[in-house]
Structure 1
């Protein structure tokens, strides 16, 4: 899949996330928490310092717009906190999820029936027309006036607060970690008065990840290639290969290491086929971004590079939202660890 330049920029900057077998899940079906979230606790006003701007909330938002940003981090976080009924327009979807029921829950959310721009996102006039009281963007790109978006100041003038997700201020996600997923949960917990629920989700995730990482500790760390399925983001044959970011934190917890960590100083590497062929790859993690058959892409790569240990051992796993910023990183840790260290789990 070839992705348009604006969406690719958002993806490279902020690509975005629970029923693990070892302990309680970090998510329930979207509807299960609606009642709990409907009555936020007192404690307002709440003020967040977000990308250098003070955002003050006198009450829990009730008209939320979730911008695209080639992410599902924000919408999944709201659903994990039982806040789906607060969303009046959502533009985020991966088409699938590791969390049972989440993809369907996202599909059922309102879109606002707006005409999207070339970045598949909500343009300025349409955004104002939605009358939001909170707008969520994966990165600062979503509030860039020169790209046709409503600015944070313009939204403030019509009574809307705004929020850019962790590490999205400068659109550099190369240092993103699992802790940033927890920060997003905590921030939304504060904004909506459901901090206790946010801490429950975080605690369950931490417990699940620790249960896996403890079992694979001391094991040899296979070299893993992480990339997005059928996606072109640059000029070379392999332009959606992950180099840095939250992916590496997830790999480390699962007992693996990124085979291409040093191939770029940014989150993604744009690699030639020759470079990929010359690298030992012990296993593949293929992330599906609206690709209905990522397994077919993984098998194609294994056939194309039969010299890889990954090809000889048919070692691959396909993931979607759990591999990026969001509330479901524990699922990615477990699924990758099960592939890399099946005898340890």
Structure 2
């Protein structure tokens, strides 16, 4: 089952009638992912490391302030395709420190702390700050999360879209576009509420269960599946679905035999353009599920209760809310009378 593409139009970003938001009083001081940062003026040249940071800036009307992007999973949201085509893509995956610095940014906006953290794969925040380049990491990747464990980190409490809204609000403050930030948060919150209302109106099984498969280093080996506290866990909790994976890790590897024994009613599989692993390919995922002697016996596979979801929606990003919508819509078309 394929879900509709996500659209974000200019009309959704128009601010509602309310009093004018206060202008940013610079220097602006913020605590961002445990580090104090000071913004002396609205950034003019931004490099993004992570698709989430890129798309939020575009959604705030700030494409003209972005001089380079990197770390892409899927095509940019359709509403921003034309603007994105005019901006240099430094790298599809991790950029080098030199490539970022060569764009002469005054701010580097980051999606994942492991890219720009104490032992960042691109650089540490201190390395950028020593050159007078500020960094901002999206709070969704550090609020209620311990990244010191390496890899994708471990959630210390359940992800909430509040961290997405916090990131939007703070970036709007940094760039002094508060009204655009308020409008975007209001639009996303309304979409979130509508998706939850749709699911609550459905006659779903009382113990409806699911698992989210992001990818695997190779087909047939233990897959990366969603733990209970990340973005997919949030979607399942909001829609009244039990996650068969009990781990607090963001993306633990669990054997297919264990997943098959849990026999989730629904499987949600990630769709992405990235091709780091064989299982990044959505068609390869589907073929494996149909042909493997263990997975082909799962209820979700036999009854075709497989939902394709934008991989980026499975991360703690603005697209998570679009993923919530697509899952609620998919549930509305399913039959659970086996």
TM norm structure 1: 0.75
How far did residue 146 of structure 1 move?
5.4
Contact 2:57-2:63 at 8 Å conserved across structures: yes
Of 270, 273, 287, which aligns to 1:287?
Answer: 270
1:92-117 Cα shifts (integer Å, max 9, x gaps): 211336x43456754553134xxx7x
Query: Cα offset for 1:290?
Result: 2.2
Q: Which residue of 2 aligns with 1:9?
A: none
* Inter-partner Cα distance in structure 2 for 1:176 and 1:196: 26
Q: Determine which of 139, 162, 176 is the counterpart of 1:179.
A: 162
What CA distance in whole angstroms lies between the structure 2 residues aligned with 1:319 and 1:73? Answer: 16
The one of 44, 59, 68 aligned to 1:80: 59
| Aligned residue-pair number | 302
| Greater alpha carbon shift after TM alignment, 335-344 vs 58-67 | 335-344
- The separation in 2 between residues aligned to 1:100 and 1:144, in whole angstroms, is 31
Q: Does residue 122 in structure 1 map to residue 122 in structure 2? A: no
Match of 1:11 in 2: none
Q: Answer yes or no: is the 8 Å Cα contact 1:284–1:298 preserved in 2.
A: no
Question: What corresponds to 2:226 in structure 1?
Answer: 242
Question: Root-mean-square deviation (CA), in Å?
Answer: 3.3
Residues 1-345 of structure 1 correspond to what in structure 2 (within 5 A)? 27-28=8-9, 42-45=23-26, 46-68=28-50, 72-96=51-75, 99-102=77-80, 106=84, 108-112=86-90, 120-144=93-117, 149-169=122-142, 170-171=146-147, 172=153, 174=155, 175-217=158-200, 219-220=204-205, 221-229=207-215, 231-232=216-217, 237-244=221-228, 245-260=230-245, 262=246, 264-291=247-274, 293-304=281-292, 305-320=295-310, 321-342=312-333
Instruction: Give the CA deviation at 1:149.
Output: 4.0
Contact 1:44 1:58 in 2 (8 A): no
Q: Is the 8 A contact 2:71 2:93 kept in 1?
A: no
Q: Which residue of 2 aligns with 1:13?
A: none
Q: CA deviation at 1:173?
A: 5.2
Q: Are 2:225 and 2:253, in contact at CA under 8 Å, matched by a contact in 1?
A: yes
Mark the CA change 1:323 to 1:104 in structure 2 (over 3 Å): closer, same or farther: farther
Alignment gaps of 5+ in structure 2: 15-20, 148-152, 275-279
Q: Deviations over 1:236-288 (max 9, x none)?
A: 8123111131111122223423221x1x2311221223212222121111112
Q: Does the 8 A contact of 2:141 with 2:316 survive in 1?
A: no
- Residue by residue over 1:210-245, the C-alpha shift from the partner in whole angstroms, topping out at 9 and shown as x without a partner, is 12212322743521110114x329x98123111131
TM-score (norm 2): 0.77
Mapped to 1, the partners of 2:175 and 2:188 lie a distance apart of: 21
Greater relative CO, 1 or 2 (CA 8 Å, sep 6+): 1
